[in-house]
Amino acid sequence: MRTSGLGLPGDALEFLDKKGYAELYPPQAESVGAGLLEGKSVLVSAPTASGKTLIAMLAIMACISRGAGKAIYLSPLRALASEKRAEFGELAGGGVGGVRPTVAVSTGDYDAREAALEAADIIVLTNERMDSLMRHRPAWMSRVGLVISDEIHLIGDADRGPALEMAIAHALSAKSPPQVLGLSATVSNAGEIAEWLGAELVESSWRPVPLAEGVYDGGSVHMADGSTLDVESSIRGPAVDIGVGAVADGGQALVFANTRPLSMSMATKASTAVEPMLSREAAARLKDASDRIVRENERTEAVKTLADLVKKGVAFHHAGLSQPCRSVVEEEFRGGAIRLVTATPTLAAGVNLPARRVVISSLMRFDMRRGMAPISVLDYKQMSGRAGRPQYDDRGEAIIVPGNAGSEMASGYIGAEPEPVESQMLNARAMRIHTLGLLVIRAALKRSQITDFFMGTLAGRQLSKSEIDREVGSALRVLAKKGMVSSRGAGAAARHIASDLGRLVSELYLDPDTATEFLELLDMASDKRDHTLGLVHAIAECGEFYPKAMPRERDRENAEGLLDEHGGELVYEVYSNEIAKSTLALNAWVCEETESSIAAAHGVESGDLHRMRERAAWIAHCLARIAAHEGKTGLASEADELERRLAYGIRRELIDLTRVRGVGRVRARELYRAGYRDRKSLAGADARKVGRISSMGKRVAEAIIAQAGQAGARRR
């Protein structure tokens, strides 16, 4: 099917033509045939790289051209949400049916009410942001005509699945339900999910590049089609050797390692073999890329190692790297200059980086609940699905190096059917969070009405009504005990209502258990002294905080020193073995230590620190709101200050200076040392003098001084 025959407006077709979309892939054509462009709900279950992004784009174009309302795109990851904003921004530039759609993205600040979303035609949200927005009941939500859920199979994720399931359930239960487009990996119960969505099912095994799968055993790779690949063995190890073999044949390789240190070690081993294969042009380009990495990031050991490897045509990729580092690696791998990337499995779910050959170096992965455990078939499919670059490779190759797992177990993954998606809604944490959320959205409800709503989730299709009702009753009892829900009436006729505290907790998107812990903390704390370490510790220990970093032996020594120096800031007694590495890193951050020193002292890399401080700042904001609600004004003020300190990485005395746009932690400290202690002193400063601070320059100084003056005027 050609895109020119889709019946879309001329400007939309022109956009598709410019992007090179002349002919639809089979899953795309089947989606159109299922009524995608007429507003019918569709579930697409298909392999990686089968064209699901274009299916989403077509649905958005059709929604806008029909005047059906706003389109919401749900992304599982914040980084992917930013990518989608850029993609849809291109669509906005060309227009659809004479309309130039506006695009907005919102991925954090769970209790924020954002005006930009009201005006936008295309809204990109994370699953959690969508769920949290529902609790604020924005009027524009009734004007949504299309909801797209990318990676809808993540409903089966124990931690993040319930938020997505509830967001979709709310959409399905609206007075005028929107069209729903679910984009899923290949799963075994796609039909069940489609029935839940009320959607047409498009199920396809088609790939743009054929996939050949095999298992390494005894110096050779035995492919499922009966062929054999010889491996030139070396001391680098089979996984690296297999990856290097693809590079030697003119391709690129993606090698998955189950830990970050292993990914770095493998990349280092591969570099000596890959570097001699680089062309002069590629080497020059990679020298520039390496310089960018050094220039745009603090020089942690990981950054220095990465910059050195990139020059040799090799890189590692994991969540510990900063976003600028990851972006350079992704850009140069897509461009063909980097020939081999080693990565942790998180890349398989989050980034589209196809390679001719994918090597899976282990079938085991550490799980917080189970320890080391075999990966799922779905995880294997996600990784192997990266094999084969459309328009470059005749076929993709996915090769398992089984290690201790054995070749028989490894062979079982090839051709296996992925696990069914199972609802995670009925765990106690999810039920108390989402029962409270439902009472905030829909006001006074009987228990039977709450149960009926949950019967409209995927859990309602997979579990009995009695099981769901039992969990609803348990959640209501817990919430009532916490003072977050009250009842009016008795027995089956009783209506359950969220209290003011319950409403606040839900709108903050906090687990009621965490809110209770914070209330206990506030009761124990004095309203008149500094609690920085105590609050940081409470934040790092709560369930909402991640990534949690487990302590090493040397961290316990650091914790003892920290307690000796700042023990008076604790709210309750804490022993050194209870101080997590996360607490040490966050405390160092608000004491203005550099990213490189934090990485060296505490083993927390830039990417992890970025997520930690972002998450911690949000939790500090929640704590401040709860403290204010309870009338603890001193603690509310302290938590509010801590939010800013965590966001900027500053001591308390720099808070006022960072309220000036363009002044971050480094510039604020330089200004403070030069005698500019707050906005008032900066507002009347001489631009030439300020410009000489750290070679800031007169133009930048003038802008900062003007900002300080405006901020000071607003404050007065």
pLDDT in tens, 300-325: 999 999 999 999 999 999 999 999 99
pLDDT of residue 554: 81
Position 585 confidence tier, pLDDT thresholds 50, 70, 90: very high
Closest CA to 666 of 604, 592, 605: 592
Is 80 exceeded by the pLDDT of residue 368? Answer: no
Domains of the chain in start order, with CATH, are 3-203 (3.40.50.300), 211-413 (3.40.50.300), 428-508 (1.10.3380.30), 515-715 (1.10.3380.20)
For 653-669, the pLDDT digits (tens) are 999 999 999 899 999 99
Q: Tell me the average pLDDT across 99-107.
A: 89
How far apart are the C-alpha atoms of 311 and 530, rounded to whole Å?
48
For 383-436, the pLDDT digits (tens) are 999 999 988 899 999 999 998 777 888 889 998 999 999 999 999 999 999 999
Is 90 exceeded by the pLDDT of residue 527? Answer: no
For 154-181, the pLDDT digits (tens) are 999 999 999 999 999 999 999 999 999 9
| Token couple for 249 | 């044949």
How far apart are the C-alpha atoms of 376 and 32, rounded to whole Å?
32
pLDDT of residue 408: 84
Closest CA to 422 of 450, 455, 462: 462
How far apart are the C-alpha atoms of 164 and 53, rounded to whole Å?
19
pLDDT of residue 437: 97
User: Please, what is the average pLDDT of the chain?
Assistant: 92
- Please name the residues in contact with 77: beta carbons below 8 A apart, sequence gap of 6 or more: 126, 349, 350
295 class by beta-carbon count within 10 Å (0-12 exposed, 13-18 middle, 19+ buried): exposed
How far apart are the C-alpha atoms of 484 and 482, rounded to whole Å?
6
Q: In one letter, which amino acid is 199?
A: A
Position 239 confidence tier, pLDDT thresholds 50, 70, 90: very high
Q: Are strands 144-150 and 179-184 parallel, antiparallel or unpaired?
A: parallel
Listed range (129-143, 423-437, 458-472, 504-518) with the worst mean pLDDT:
129-143
Residue pair 341/317 in contact (Cβ under 8 Å)? The answer is yes
Is 80 exceeded by the pLDDT of residue 679? Answer: yes
Which residue, chain included where needed, has tokens 């300020």? 690
pLDDT of residue 487: 96
For 21-46, the pLDDT digits (tens) are 999 999 999 999 999 999 999 999 99
pLDDT of residue 716: 45
For 253-270, the pLDDT digits (tens) are 999 999 999 999 999 999
Looking at per-residue pLDDT, the higher value among 137 and 624 belongs to: 624
Is 90 exceeded by the pLDDT of residue 291? Answer: yes
pLDDT of residue 561: 84
Closest CA to 343 of 370, 394, 306, 299: 306
Long-range contacts of 603-606 (CB under 8 A, 24+ apart): 603/549, 603/552, 603/555, 604/549, 605/300, 605/302, 605/320, 605/321, 606/297, 606/298, 606/300, 606/302, 606/303, 606/320, 606/321, 606/322, 606/325
pTM for this model (two decimals): 0.93
How far apart are the C-alpha atoms of 309 and 298, rounded to whole Å?
17
